Amino acid sequence: MSANEIMRQIEELPAKEQQELFVFLTKKVVGSQTAGAKQWIGKKLSFEDACNVVFRENRELLSALAK
């Protein structure tokens, strides 16, 4: 399955399930970071703000999803 197919399926999910998926992906990204955590970690962010942070700071994730 391609990333485009996955993204289309994600867009079809209810908003609650999209948020759960985002939390899962965020934990994977944060968990793979070294001890030098970003300043935004631990702050309360809206879903949209968190998406912006994750994709801005992890271009490789955005690239992988775009393929």
User: How far is CA 17 from each of CA 30, 41, 51, rounded to the nearest angstrom?
Assistant: 20, 22, 15
Q: How far is CA 42 from the centre of its chain?
A: 15
Alpha-carbon distance 62 to 66, whole Å? 6
Per-residue pLDDT of the chain (67 residues; tens, 9 = 90+): 888 898 899 999 999 998 888 888 887 776 665 544 566 666 787 888 877 777 777 777 777 777 6
Looking at the structure of the chain, the number of domains it has is 1
The model's pTM:
0.45
Q: Residue 40 has which token pair?
A: 């935004």
Q: Provide the domain limits for residue 16.
A: 3-66
